[in-house]
Every structure is written in structure tokens, then in C-alpha cells.
């Protein structure tokens, strides 16, 4: 059937800010949905509060509302835009929950649900309704009971018996869930689950810990045509949230009979739940002892796993689901990659591995044990010809300092303990255990991971001893080792460990090339090469593979029967026999493998046995360096599917940012995508290089060619040599590609835009300090130290407090304010692990300074000031965590002029071509330069949305035109680019430097934090970044925009009630005026002893409240009884550390609006005034703001 014509305007609800469990995979899905609906001729209205998303660009939807995702605002939008239908299945749990709440309140009368009916959402999300539906169709479920009170929960626990799994209904990423082994743990988890569930419902079920977990991505159309897009297997057994588990596609340890049972069950479940126009994710568990299969849960929407399955297979689930939602059937939809109908089930002849990315180093107090509640921030995906290759490529993609199964520990007891405990590094401990001689049986007993996977990991470990000097001259051995996924860097490490060879990664690379052992590039085409592919989506592999249709899958790996594994059919690539290891000595432990490889000229080749081989390799290296961009040769044994894309067009390669993590997230992917779009506008072929399956950048149609590979020098170099691009962009993916700039320059790769030399000058503290002094700009007093004694000397010369940090890091990693020598000593002991041999930077900390961010673009001759943002929080809070306002609110005009002129001077003198971010501080009415980043910053999307000028697109156009000297008109390269993209006529071309016209509205960026997901994490802000995402508030006044930003990040400001004050000693005097302002607004005040005393002394009416340590009823009791409307807690007194932690923990648990800085609290007062003056629920589209 053709598309529906009875609906015209469709509202798509986005997922909001990036949080644990709901990341940029929903920008990927939502962007696909918006593009698809627009292409089909529908009028699309979008609501999403996240400015860092591609979907909120004003060019995508007809009307884009960057507004809080609340019922009242959505109702206003529906009325304003005459919406006919809503699509809530592309915005994660946020969209489903708000849509269902509105439906149940009768707020969506006459509005049709697309993708999934309310009844289907109810059945799929409500655990009681889901259980009843599954029993109706004869599905096996874990023994379970539902509870709505703590008393009912205790009854269920007695009936089922420990251990128990507790799951909350209608929550995100396992929120409110947990495992309980005893009654005390159960009471705590059950209470939290009841509080977390929006319908106060929890499911208590028998423990399936140790069972194998699988997922099926299913699509169904209205004619009951069903397909499985992809089967996914969790390497970690039940008990670890699937978002935190290592997962593999396709499922490798299922028998054909088990797979067919699961496939049939998935179809039955979708039919019963009522998902008849879209995609769903169904999760199963299988008891490895007896084969019992149970249903765990299903998501009646596009999910995190849907994005992974789409990238793993090349099948665009979100696009297909959107077309099904508006009337198409599967056989009417064409697969963009092959041109075949979408009703064909994808078939793949490679292995995909996803590994989650954690950032526990940011939250040392948090419990790092992995449970049923998700904790990871991002993920990577790798594709290989075997599980071994795929696994090691994924490990290299994580950017955690490892490049394979790195060494981590040499103590057997510690290793066993960590293997038993699910944690982010368990895979590395397993490898260590095998290195110490542990058996597969012993390992399985500890971790319950399937023996087949353990066998594969053990083979990788056993093969390490084969990496000797022979590998440099033995093509067969080199090919086998590389087919196992070993990076050149890891091979260099094992050559040093096994044979004492001092050899660099580059020398291994050249030796390998000399042997003809090179990667080949195959396509992800959904059909295992059965049909021709139209879109180049590529991955590398090494091996002797013959690919003929579906037979490639079994020919690549072979059939493997092993009594250890318990299944009759396995996929394996076993070539090395297991060698027994001495339990008393671990051969894997050697000198640190995290040491950066040196240049070949610095290598010590004193080992006489191997010196001739090293010399030969160096001779080859020298010869190859002269022509290093020769192009990648094709081995005679290469896969017959290897794809070559020759073109006469210019082409530019964009290196992405890798996995999401705190400090480097979706904002940088936004810039990479915009860069690709700008290259398309220029008629240039774009090559995207990334390893993040969640992102829009890795969508098959974002760029002309996509390489899904680890972002390391070895793999990037191979693609450069293969593609021979006319330019490479390293400035948009954050610190990840920037770190490659020098290495790429050494092999004569052409970086367009700001040069590697300029980047190094900005990043190197000594060089930059000299540069700034020559410009005559002020910087805080600073110094540099390479060792402890030098650090003490510098800090004491500058004077405490000082701000200390490593160089070449992002997100304020290991940045700290220290107040004396003891704190500095502790810091220096810790920092070595972060920055390797890089120096430590020491700056005078400017207390109470106002900080600002500036984003600008330069073409080397002129400068455009994209935006100047004023931080709400004062100095000491990382810029990525501070709220910020555009335009500025408290900065006088003369200071703004000085900022503009200083920024232009820096950009031109430094030699920046493209984007640059500058951070300033105003201290005692004087301007200080804090740092310069000659790249895209995380504020680029926010500034672009606020001003209507796409900074990354403009910068890309400038970088390309500058590199080829195309601008021959009287207009500068920069001016030409600005005019090309100035759709809303926002640029003031009369100013020097160029800048946008004054905005008639205020935009506020606010950060979102993961404290609710990371148990034990300290609710406090400082110089090290902790936020996972951001929201944007837009309003006619500063107060209104701040109020909207708080509403969007679920910190809604109250209009009345009791304000709790607990202030640090330095804040108490200022707290008097703050309390007085709250009283004038109709609030009452309560405070702990010290703050209460100061308030009383100044005539402020307040009530005294006990700290936790002082008795009952105390502040925690008041919070639990809903007697606190707003909490302001800036306490930093070490003697009250326990009290402060308990108070802040309860603030998070009770979802109480809070602020931890006085600066934010002051702004909150202004916002509350404006809420009372304006209608907070009245929404305006981004297009309306930009056109005003």
C-alpha cells in the first residue's frame, strides 16, 4: 500500500539530553525518521531539548522546538502546529513515557499514535501486563511477582527465594533495578525501584544469574510480515545490563534449533503485544545447563540495540520502521544499500563486537561493579573476519590506553576476584588468568562466560608467545597473528617482551607491508555479497577468505566442535594450540605497554641476536617513508570482495571522535556530520572514519564512504594510503583525531585547516606561554613541571591555590585545584597514569573570576566571532559542566570589545584556519587568557543553534577553499563561506572582526549529570568534567531561558515551599542576601547550624534543622517527607564530609531541585521571578526565533 494521505503534520518526540542509557543513538534514529518523513512529503514538527543533536538543526524538520519535553509544552505545540499524529518510538524511554502519560490523561484526543499503539506500549512497558501477555501465548518466564508497596515486595521475596532480581516498570537503562542476595539488600533495592518507577511498580523475579542472554531485533508490518534484522549475543551472562555487556553479532553460541525457537518466539511476542508497524527488541535468557529459554523483556520502540543492529548489518531499522508507521509494507520498501526489498532478512559474513565505554575514573566513589542498572557512557563497535579479530579491534577502539588484551595485574588472587566480579576490565583479567595458567573450566566457574568465548580468548593469549623475531620475515606467521586482531603496537610490545627487540609500531608496519600482509576492505551490505552494493560502508580484515554468497560465513571460520563448549556447532578460527603456562610466573607481565612507541631513530638495537633484523626493518622503513602515501596494495590472498572506489573527484577524509565519554561526546560528532554536509555542498567526496555505532556520522548515507575502524595510527594510516585523500580533517572529533596530527604529518598526509605545528603550539604549554607573552596578553601566573620537586617549586613560586592538570587531555581529565603541598604531592602521584610522559601544567587559580567561552573561525586573514558565552558558575567549575549564556549578561561593552580583538589577534598570529575556541577569565576587572583550542569545541552546536549559523559547515568551507586557494574574489574566503550559509541574515559584515548581529532572545546551555545512575558518586562540581550531556533553554529573558533549561534537565524550579541552605564558610555572608531574596518571593528558609546562625545574626527569619550526625528528625527526614522544595548545598567542610554526602545522595534519590554553587542559586531567583511573569509552557520554534 502507498503512504497514508489522511495525515499531514507529524510530531516526532526526541529523547532529550545525553544520559546513561539514552545517548546519541536516538539522534541517529530520530534524524533518520525526520529525513524519511520529509522525503515522503509530510510536514514534520520536532521537539527535543538537546542542542547538540543533528535532528534539531533548523534545516531538518519544518518546525523545530528546542524546548523541555513536558506534557504542557507538547500540548501547546500540538495546538500551535495542528498536529495530526505523533511518532513516539524514536525518542527512547523519554518519548514513550511522556506520550503515554498524556494519552492516559486524555491530552491526545484526536491525535494518532504512529509506530506503536498505546495498548502495545502499555503491554510492552508495564511489566505486569507484559507477564500476562507472555503467559497467554505460552512463553516461559522467570518465576516472579509484582509489588506496589514495600510490604508486597517482602511477601514476594519470601515466596520466590534469594537471590532475586528487582526490575522497575517504565524506566530507562535498568533504572531502579538491581540484584539482591539477602533481605537487607532487597529492602534497599525494592524501595529504590518503587520510587524510580513512574507507576510505582516493580517486578521481583527469580535470579537467572549465569544464564546466557540474547537479543533479537525484529521488524513487523501491518500485513504480519516479520523479519529478524539481527541476533545479538551478550558475552557477559545474565546479571549485567545489556548496555554494559560486551555483545556480539550474529549470536555465535546458539544451535540452529535454539535460534529458530527464539526467532519464532520473537514473532509471536510482537503479534501478541501488538507492534504491527515498526521495530522492537526482544530479550531472552537460556540456561546453559538444560537449554531452558525464558523471555526477559521487550522494547516496543527503536532502542540502543536497534542502532547497533543497524550499524552491524547496514539495515536502516529506524528508516524502515518510520515508513512502516505511515502505511508501507516491508516488500514495498527498498534497501538503499542493495536495492532489494526490505523484507529480505539481512545476512552477514563477518563478526561484530560491541564493547561499552565507562568513565569510572571521573567518579572514584562510585561502585564500579556492573549490575542490572546501566553505568556505561558510550560504546565502540568493531567488525572483523573472526571473533578474535573483531574483539581486539574493539579493544583498540576504546581509547582507554589499551591496544589489545593489555596487561593489568600479576596477582592471581586479585585476578580471580576481579574475574568473579563483573567490571569494566574483566576481559583483561581473564586474559591475565589464562597467562597464569588457569584452565577454561576454572575460568568458566568464576565468570560464567560461555566456554567458546573463553576458548577464543585463551587462543589469543596462547599465541602471544609465538610473536618472536621470526614474525618479521615469516609471512604465514605474520598473517596468522594479524588475523587474530593483534595491532602493530601490540606486536612491537611482544617482540620486546619475548625477544628483547626494541622496535617501533611503524617498523612493524613496514615489515608487515614488506611481507605483503595487508588489510583488505569489505563492505557491510546486509546480504553477505549476494547482491551488488550501492553504498560503500567498509571494514578491514586480514585473512585468506573466499566469499561466495552466504558460504563465506562458514568458510571464513569453519565448523568447530569441542566438548568444552556444550553446543554441537560453533564458529571458530583456532590456529594456535594452547600451550601450558607456569602458574608461578605470568609471561604477559612486562614493562609497561602503555609507553608510547618511539621513533625508529631512537630505538636501542643493542640486542645482537636481533640487530640485523631490526636494521633490515629500519632500512625498509626509511625507503617506505619517502613514498608512504603509495596506496594500499592488495594481497594475492585477499578476499575477493575487497572494494576499491576510484574517483576523479576531490575527496576529503574526516576523522571522527570515537566512543562517547565524559568530555568528548555527541557535540563532536555533530561537527563531523556538518563537515561532511559542507563537503557535499562543495561537490567534494567525503570519507568518514569512526568507530562509534551510536552516531549520525556512522550512518551509511551521511558521507560518500564510511570506514568503521579503530581510530589509531595504524588503521588511519592504512585508509589514507588506500584512499589518498586530497585533505584530512582532524579538528572536529575532539582530542582523539587531534592527537594523530603530528604522526600523520610525518607520513606526508595532507591535513587541511589549522596545521599540526599550530596545534602543537597551542597544546604545548611552554611554546604557548611564549606565544602569549609576545602578543602582550595576560595569563594567570603559570609554570610547568615534569617531576614532583619541580611541581612544588613552581606552585610555591606562584602561590596557592593553584590549578593543576596534564597537557593533551580533554574534559578536564585529572584537573584539580590544590591548596597546599600535601594535596599537590597526592596529585602528582596520581597524574602520571593520565598523561604518560607529558608535563603537568600549573596555573594560579583565579578565585571568583567570571569565565567565558568564545568560538570563532579564521581563514588566516580575517576572523568571525561566532559567539561569546558567559559561564553562570564562577571559576573552578569545568566549562563543560557550567551553565552558560549567549549573549552575555553581566559583561560590559568595552570588555566584550577587548575579548573580540584579543580573539582575532590570537587566531591570526597563531595561524588558525578553521575553528578555534578560547577561554577567558575576568578577574579584578582585567581579562586573562586561560586556554586556546585550535579545533571545534563542545559549544559549537549550541552556538550554531543560537545564531542560525552552522559554524562547522562554515569552517569546513573555509578550510577547503584556503587549502586549494580557490578564493580569488575580493571577498575573503571566510566572508564567502559566511554569505553562503547565512540563511537568516545574522552576520554583521560591517564589524571587524566579523560577528553576528545582536540576538533578540537569550539562549542558555545547561549540563546534565549521571549522579542518579552511579551509586556512590559525589554530587559536586569542580575543574574535572562530569556531565554527560546538555540541554538548551531559549526565552525572551535570561531568567526565562534559565528556567526552561532547568525544566529540561529535570531540575524544575519551585514557586513556593521551603528552601534548605547549607553553605560553605566562604559562602555564608553572601547567603544572607540570597535567603532574603527567597523570602521576598514567598519561600521559607531552613538551615543547618552554621548557616542558621549567620542568618539569625543578620535578621533573616529561618528555622534550624539538624544535620544527620546531630539526631532526629534531621534534614534527611525532612527531605524524605517531601518538606524541602529546593536545596542549596555548597558545603565543603571536611569535618562534615559524611553529612554532605548523605544530604546530596538524598537530594538525588528524592529528585529535589538543587544547586551546589551560589552563582547558580542567584540565577535561580531571577528565573523564579520570570516564571511568575511569563508562561513557561508557551513554546516557540527555533525557526521563529531565528527569523525574528
CA nearest 541: which of 641, 610, 442, 645? 641
Determine how many CB atoms are found less than 10 A away from the CB of residue 249.
Answer: 27
Binding region for Mg(2+): 283, 297, 299, 919, 931, 933
Query: Binding site for ATP: which residues?
Result: 127, 167, 174, 206, 208, 213, 239-241, 283, 297, 805, 844, 846, 851, 876-879, 919, 931
- What is the b/e burial string over 768-804, where b = at least 16 CB atoms within 10 angstroms of the residue's CB? beebbeeeebebbebbbbeebebbbebbeebeebbbb
Q: Is residue 928 a contact partner of residue 935, using CB atoms and an 8 Å limit?
A: no
Q: Which conformational region is residue 275 in: left (phi greater than 0), alpha (psi within -120 to 50 degrees), or beta?
A: beta
User: What's phi and psi for 472, nearest 5 deg?
Assistant: -75, -10
**Contact call for residues 1054 and 1152 (beta carbons, < 8 A):** no
DSSP code string of 61-102: SSEEE-S---HHHHHHHHHHHT--EEE-TTSHHHHHHHHHHH
For 127, the enclosing helix (H) or strand (E) is helix 127-136
Spatial distance between the Cα atoms of 401 and 995, rounded to a whole number of angstroms: 40
Query: How far, in Å, CA of 204 to CA of 160, rounded?
Result: 8
Nearest residue to 702 (alpha-carbon basis) of 740, 671, 676, 725: 676
* Residue pair 49/91 in contact by the 8 Å Cβ criterion: no
What sign results for the dihedral spanned by CA atoms 132, 134, 139, 144? negative
Angle at 361 between CA 356 and CA 364, to 5 degrees: 120
For residue 821, how many C-alpha atoms fall within 13 Å in the half-sphere facing its CB? Answer: 8
Q: Which residues are annotated as a binding site for Mn(2+)?
A: 283, 297, 299, 919, 931, 933
Instruction: Answer whether 846's CB lies under 8 Å from 921's CB.
Output: yes
What is the rounded distance in angstroms from the CA atom of residue 402 to the CA atom of residue 396? 6
Sign (positive or negative) of CA dihedral 363, 367, 371, 373: negative
Residue 176 three-state SS: coil
Sheet of strand 226-234, all strands in order from the earlier edge strand to the far edge: 293-299, 278-286, 212-220, 226-234, 247-249, 351-357, 378-384
645, with CB counted inside 10 A (0-12, 13-18, 19+), is middle
As a whole number of Å, the end-to-end CA separation of the chain is: 42
Give the angle subtended at the CA of 425 by the CAs of 314 and 20, to the nearest 5°. Answer: 60
Stated length of the chain: 1188
CA 872 to chain centre: 25
Q: What is the rounded CA–CA span in Å between residue 812 and residue 139? A: 50
Annotated binding site: 127, 167, 174, 206, 208, 213, 239-241, 283, 297, 299, 805, 844, 846, 851, 876-879, 919, 931, 933
Amino acid at each position: 500500500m502507498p503512504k497514508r494521505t489522511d495525515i499531514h503534520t507529524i510530531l516526532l518526540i526526541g529523547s532529550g539530553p545525553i544520559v546513561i542509557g539514552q545517548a546519541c543513538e536516538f539522534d541517529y534514529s530520530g534524524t533518520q525518521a525526520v529525513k524519511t518523513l520529509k522525503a515522503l512529503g509530510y510536514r514534520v514538527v520536532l521537539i527535543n531539548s538537546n542542542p547538540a543533536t543533528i535532528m534539531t538543526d533548523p534545516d531538518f524538520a519544518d518546525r523545530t522546538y528546542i524546548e523541555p519535553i513536558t506534557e504542557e509544552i507538547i500540548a501547546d505545540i500540538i495546538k500551535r502546529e495542528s498536529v495530526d499524529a505523533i511518532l513516539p518510538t524514536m525518542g527512547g524511554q523519554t518519548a514513550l513515557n511522556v506520550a503515554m502519560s498524556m494519552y492516559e490523561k486524555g491530552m491526545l484526543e484526536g491525535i494518532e499514535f504512529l509506530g506503536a499503539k498505546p495498548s502495545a506500549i502499555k503491554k510492552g512497558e508495564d511489566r505486569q501486563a507484559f507477564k500476562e501477555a507472555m503467559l497467554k501465548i505460552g512463553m516461559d518466564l522467570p518465576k516472579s511477582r509484582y509489588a506496589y508497596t514495600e510490604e508486597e515486595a517482602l511477601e514476594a521475596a519470601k515466596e520466590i527465594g534469594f537471590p532475586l532480581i528487582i526490575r522497575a516498570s517504565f524506566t530507562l537503562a535498568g533504572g531502579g533495578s538491581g540484584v539482591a542476595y539477602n533481605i537487607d539488600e532487597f529492602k534497599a533495592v525494592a524501595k529504590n525501584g518503587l520510587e524510580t518507577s513512574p507507576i510505582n511498580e516493580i517486578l521481583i523475579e527469580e535470579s537467572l544469574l549465569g544464564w546466557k542472554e540474547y537479543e533479537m531485533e525484529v521488524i513487523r508490518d501491518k500485513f504480519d510480515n516479520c523479519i529478524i534484522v539481527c541476533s545479538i549475543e551478550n558475552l557477559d551472562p545474565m546479571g549485567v545490563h545489556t548496555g554494559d555487556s560486551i555483545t556480539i553479532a550474529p549470536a555465535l553460541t546458539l544451535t540452529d534449533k535454539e535460534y529458530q525457537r527464539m526467532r519464532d518466539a520473537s514473532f509471536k511476542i510482537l503479534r501478541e503485544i501488538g507492534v504491527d508497524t515498526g521495530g522492537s527488541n526482544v530479550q531472552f535468557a537460556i540456561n546453559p545447563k538444560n537449554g531452558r529459554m525464558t523471555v526477559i523483556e521487550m522494547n516496543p520502540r527503536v532502542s540502543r540495540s536497534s542502532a547497533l543492529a543497524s550499524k552491524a548489518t547496514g539495515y536502516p531499522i529506524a528508516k524502515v520502521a518510520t515508513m512502516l508507521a505511515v502505511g508501507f509494507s516491508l516488500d514495498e520498501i527498498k534497501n538503499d544499500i542493495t536495492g532489494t526489498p526490505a523484507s529480505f532478512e539481512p545476512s552477514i559474513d563477518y563478526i561484530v563486537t560491541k564493547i561499552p565505554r565507562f568513565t569510572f575514573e571521573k567518579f572514584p566513589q562510585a561502585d564500579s561493579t556492573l549490575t542490572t542498572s546501566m553505568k556505561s557512557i558510550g560504546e565502540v563497535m568493531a567488525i572483523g573476519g573472526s571473533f578474535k579479530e573483531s574483539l581486539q579491534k574493539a579493544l583498540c577502539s576504546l581509547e582507554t590506553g589499551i591496544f589489545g588484551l593489555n596487561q593489568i595485574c600479576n596477582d592471581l588472587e586479585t585476578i580471580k576476584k576481579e574475574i568473579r566480579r563483573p567490571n569494566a576490565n574483566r576481559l583483561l583479567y581473564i586474559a591475565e588468568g589464562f597467562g597464569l595458567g588457569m584452565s577454561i573450566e576454572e575460568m568458566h566457574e568464576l565468570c560464567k562466560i560461555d566456554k567458546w568465548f573463553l576458548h577464543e580468548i585463551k587462543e589469543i593469549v596462547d599465541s602471544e608467545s609465538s610473536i618472536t623475531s621470526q614474525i618479521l620475515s615469516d609471512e604465514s606467521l605474520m598473517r596468522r597473528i594479524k588475523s587474530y586482531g593483534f595491532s602493530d603496537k601490540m606486536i612491537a610490545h611482544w617482540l620486546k617482551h619475548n625477544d628483547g627487540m626494541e622496535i617501533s609500531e611503524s617498523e612493524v608496519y613496514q615489515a608487515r607491508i614488506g611481507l605483503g600482509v595487508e588489510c583488505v576492505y569489505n563492505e557491510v551490505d546486509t546480504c553477505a555479497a549476494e547482491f551488488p552494493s550501492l553504498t560503500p560502508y567498509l571494514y578491514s580484515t586480514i585473512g585468506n577468505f573466499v566469499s561466495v554468497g552466504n558460504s563465506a560465513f562458514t568458510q571464513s571460520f569453519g565448523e568447530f566442535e569441542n566438548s568444552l563448549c556444550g553446543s554441537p556447532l560453533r564458529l571458530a578460527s583456532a590456529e594456535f594450540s594452547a600451550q601450558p603456562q607456569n602458574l608461578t610466573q605470568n609471561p604477559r607481565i612486562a614493562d609497561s605497554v602503555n609507553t608510547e612507541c618511539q621513533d625508529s631513530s631512537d630505538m636501542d638495537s643493542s640486542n645482537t641476536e636481533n640487530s640485523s633484523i631490526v636494521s633490515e626493518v629500519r632500512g625498509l622503513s626509511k625507503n617506505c617513508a619517502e613514498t608512504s602515501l603509495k596506496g594500499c596494495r592488495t594481497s594475492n590472498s585477499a578476499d575477493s570482495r575487497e572494494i576499491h572506489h576510484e574517483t576523479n573527484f576531490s575527496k576529503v577524509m574526516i576523522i571522527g571522535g570515537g566512543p562517547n565519554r565524559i568530555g568528548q561526546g555527541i557535540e563532536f560528532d555533530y561537527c563531523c556530520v556538518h563537515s561532511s554536509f559542507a563537503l557535499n555542498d562543495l561537490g567534494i567526496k567525503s570519507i568518514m572514519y569512526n568507530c562509534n555505532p551510536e552516531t549520525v556520522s556512522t550512518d551509511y548515507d551521511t558521507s560518500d564512504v564510511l570506514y568503521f575502524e579503530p581510530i589509531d595510527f595504524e588503521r588511519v594510516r592504512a585508509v589514507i594510503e588506500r584512499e589518498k585523500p586530497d585533505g584530512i580533517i582532524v579538528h572536529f572529533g575532539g582530542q582523539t583525531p587531534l592527537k594523530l596530527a603530528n604522526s600523520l604529518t610525518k607520513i606526508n598526509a595532507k591535513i587541511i585547516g589549522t596545521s599540526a605545528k599550530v596545534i602543537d603550539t597551542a597544546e604545548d604549554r611552554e611554546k604557548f606561554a611564549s606565544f602569549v607573552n609576545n602578543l602582550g596578553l595576560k595569563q594567570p601566573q603559570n609554570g610547568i613541571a615534569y617531576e614532583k620537586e619541580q611541581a612544588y617549586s613552581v606552585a610555591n613560586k606562584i602561590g596557592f591555590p593553584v590549578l593543576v592538570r596534564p597537557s593533551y587531555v580533554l574534559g578536564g581529565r585529572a584537573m584539580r585545584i590544590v591548596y597546599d603541598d600535601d594535596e599537590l604531592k597526592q596529585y602528582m602521584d596520581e597524574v602520571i597514569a593520565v598523561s604518560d610522559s607529558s608535563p603537568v601544567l600549573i596555573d594560579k587559580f583565579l578565585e571568583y573570576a567570571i569565565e567565558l567561552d568564545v568560538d570563532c573561525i579564521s581563514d588566516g586573514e580575517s576572523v568571525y566571532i561566532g559567539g561569546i558565552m558567559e559561564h553562570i558558575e564562577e571559576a573552578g567549575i569545568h566549562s563543560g559542566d557550567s551553565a552558560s549564556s549567549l549573549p552575555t549578561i553581566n559583561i560590559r561593552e568595552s570588555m566584550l570589545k577587548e575579548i573580540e580583538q584579543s580573539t582575532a589577534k590570537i587566531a591570526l598570529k597563531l595561524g588558525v584556519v578553521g575553528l578555534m575556541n578560547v577561554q577567558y577569565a575576568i578577574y579584578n576587572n582585567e581579562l586573562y587568557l586561560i586556554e586556546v583550542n585550535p579545533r571545534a569545541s563542545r559549544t559549537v552546536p549550541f552556538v550554531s543553534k543560537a545564531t542560525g549559523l552552522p559554524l562547522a559547515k562554515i569552517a569546513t568551507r573555509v578550510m577547503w577553499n584556503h587549502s586549494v586557494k580557490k578564493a580569488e574574489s575580493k571577498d575573503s574566503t571566510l566572508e564567502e563561506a559566511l554569505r553562503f550559509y547565512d540563511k537568516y541574515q545574522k552576520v554583521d559584515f560591517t564589524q571587524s572582526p566579523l560577528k553576528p548581529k545582536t540576538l533578540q532572545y537569550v539562549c542558555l546551555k545547561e549540563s546534565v549529570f549521571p549522579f542518579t545512575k552511579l551509586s556512590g558518586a559525589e554530587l559536586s562540581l569542580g575543574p574535572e568534567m562530569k556531565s554527560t550531556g546538555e540541554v538548551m533553554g531559549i526565552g525572551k529573558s535570561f531568567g526565562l531561558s534559565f528556567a526552561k533549561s532547568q525544566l529540561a534537565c529535570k531540575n524544575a524550579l519551585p514557586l513556593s515551599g521551603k528552601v534548605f541552605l547549607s553553605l560553605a564558610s566562604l559562602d555564608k555572608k553572601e547567603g544572607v542576601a540570597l535567603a532574603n531574596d527567597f523570602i521576598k518571593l514567598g519561600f521559607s528558609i531552613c538551615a543547618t547550624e552554621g548557616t542558621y546562625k549567620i542568618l539569625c545574626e543578620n535578621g533573616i527569619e529561618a528555622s534550624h534543622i539538624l544535620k544527620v550526625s546531630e539526631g532526629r528528625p534531621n534534614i534527611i527526614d525532612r527531605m524524605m517527607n517531601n518538606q524541602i522544595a529546593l536545596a542549596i548545598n555548597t558545603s565543603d567542610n571536611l569535618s562534615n564530609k559524611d553529612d554532605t554526602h548523605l544530604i546530596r545522595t538524598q537530594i538525588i534519590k528524592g529528585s529535589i531541585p538543587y544547586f551546589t554553587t551560589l552563582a547558580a542559586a542567584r540565577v535561580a531567583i531571577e528565573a523564579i521571578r520570570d516564571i511568575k511573569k511569563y508562561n513557561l509552557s508557551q513554546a516557540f520554534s527555533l525557526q521563529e526565533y531565528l527569523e525574528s
